[in-house]
Amino acid sequence: MWDDRFEQILRPFLPFLPPQEELTPESDLKDLGLDSLGTVQLLGTLEEGYQVRFRDSALTMDTFRTAGVLWDTVRGMLQSTAS
């Protein structure tokens, strides 16, 4: 599972996710209200929040399909930054 910062960054971009509802790795971000403009803004917010840079190969709709896939992408960037 992800760290608290990830969910704090992600939730404001999901207008259809009630505050009391759990965000799961299978949560479909598009169904929760993440649109194309939100995706671009989320990308910048994640890069700033984690001090990482998304590779071009990670800039696909699949990366932003679910919370779990997005977190796996961020975690992978953090691991490559640390090594």
Domains of the chain plus CATH, in order, are: 28-82 (1.10.1200.10)
- Residues 27-30: contacts with CB under 8 Å, at least 24 apart: 27/66, 27/67, 27/68, 28/65, 28/66, 29/64, 29/65, 29/66, 29/67, 29/70, 30/64, 30/65
As a whole number of angstroms, the distance between CA 44 and CA 66 comes to 17
| 10: phi then psi, degrees, rounded to nearest 5 | -75, -45
Measured in residues, the chain has a length of 83
Q: Six-digit token pair at 16?
A: 């259809």
Mean pLDDT of 2-29: 96
Share of the chain above pLDDT 70, in %: 100
Q: Band of the pLDDT at 81, cuts 50, 70, 90? A: confident
- Whether residue 10 is predicted with pLDDT greater than 80 in this model: the reply is yes
Query: What single-letter DSSP state applies at residue 66?
Result: B
